[in-house]
Every structure is written in C-alpha cells, then in structure tokens.
Amino acid sequence: GIVEGSFQPFFQPIVHGQTQEIYKYESLIRYIEKDGTEIAPYKFLPIAKKAKLFPTIIRVMLTSVMKTIKEKKIKVAVNVSFDDIMNKETYDFIILTLISNPEESKLLDFEILESEEIKDFDLVRKFIDEVRSYGCDVGVDDFGAGYSNFNMLEALNIDFVKIDGSLIKEIDHLPKQALIVETISQFCNKLGIKTVAEFVSSEEIYKTANGLGINYMQGYHFGKPISYSEL
C-alpha cells in the first residue's frame, strides 16, 4: 500500500462555532483499495504500528497534506503521536518539511494524540515550541479520555484542545456529560486555549456545545471526510 500510493488523506471540515463557516480541515488517513473501497484507519494502523511502519505512514500523510495546502490554500491539521515525537527520524522529517515549505507551514496545525501517556514533557514542549516557530498551531486530540488531565494543558502551553467525541455525542440529553464539557470549556477559556468539539452529528448537539462556549465544531452535521478531489 505504501509503495503503490494506496494511503491517502481525507479531509473533514472544522467550522467556527458562531458563524458555522469552515475554519480548517483535519486530515484523516484512508487506505484505498484498487476498486475504490475506503478502508478506515482502525483496521490498519494497529498493524502498521506492530510492523514498525507507523513512521512511514506519517511521512506519507505529511507530504500529501503539504501538497494539498499548497494547491488548495486551506488550513489543515495533522495528527502526531508521542511516539512520533520520540522518534528522531520522524521528528527531523517534520522539521525539515516545515523548513522546506515556509508558507504552507503557516496553514498547518498539529494534533497530539491522547492515546498514549506523555512520558517526556520537556521533549513535547520542545517540539511544540519548534513547530510553532514556523507558524504552526499545536493542540491535544481526544481530551477527556485516556491520559487526559488539566495539568497537562497548562504544562504543554498548547493552542487548542479537541474534546473527545465520547463526551460530545450525547451532551444534548445527558446533563452530566454537558457539565464535564462545560468545565473543560471554562478551564480552557481562562487559559486562552481554544476548544474543538468532535462528533457533532446533529443540530441539537451543535446548539448545546455552542451554548457551553465551545469555539469550533467538527462532525457529520457539518461534513463527512472527503477526498482531495472533492475539496
């Protein structure tokens, strides 16, 4: 798949909470079969990780996203894991890509995945400071699940937080979920950190999230992931 170019980024819109206009896109990897069938990442990323091919996929994604930014002139977020930041070759590739694409870098965001515990905060802070010097914003993905904690937000000095979909998808009828989201929103607001709600799949969820002060929205209510040609 790597050799044949079967891994491709798809792009899901993230809209401004007030205007509902597209602010940026999140790039989401897909494996495209020869017949055009789209294979979701949960089916192949664990295998890629075990096979030590994860760094290669990250390179493919970043290269494709930079090409998209250059040609479509849109702002795009790319996911990186703590393992990616720990991997010197991947780290160096990211920085070299930013150096080689100074204008496109200003339209590139990074979302640090919350699927792993961050063991070296100094290294992550160094990564954030370095990519930010090229114009990139950096956020934390899936906040509210896994290893999330409020201290991490302050310690990393990030730009935005993406609230985990498990907290968003039922906030329109589960008051306790809404309370958790409101707490995250208020805390981030006081720190000057923007918030993004994912899994916004209906008008009711959007209105609830918007009422809780969430800055940006992402989900099927505003658009499914689309291919490069559909942008």
**Residue ranges of E strands in 90-206:** 108-112, 137-143, 160-163, 194-197
Q: Give the integer Cα–Cα distance in Å for 197 and 142.
A: 9
- State how far the Cα of 16 lies from the Cα of 217, in Å rounded to an integer: 6
Q: In the numeric block, which tokens belong to residue 33?
A: 């079969």
Looking at residues 162-167, what average pLDDT do you find?
Answer: 94
The sign one gets for the Cα dihedral 196, 95, 155, 190 is negative
Average pLDDT of 152-177? 93
pLDDT digits (tens, 9 = 90+) for 49-83: 888 888 888 999 999 999 999 999 999 999 998 88
Of the two residues 144 and 197, the one the predictor is more confident about is 197
- Yes or no: say if 110 and 133 are a contact pair by the CB < 8 Å rule: no
Are the C-beta atoms of residues 222 and 201 closer than 8 Å to each other?
no
Asked if residue 171 lies in contact with residue 209, where contact means CB atoms within 8 angstroms, the answer is yes
For 4-46, write each residue's pLDDT tens digit: 989 999 999 999 999 999 999 999 999 999 999 999 999 998 8
Highest mean pLDDT among 32-46, 95-109, 147-161: 95-109
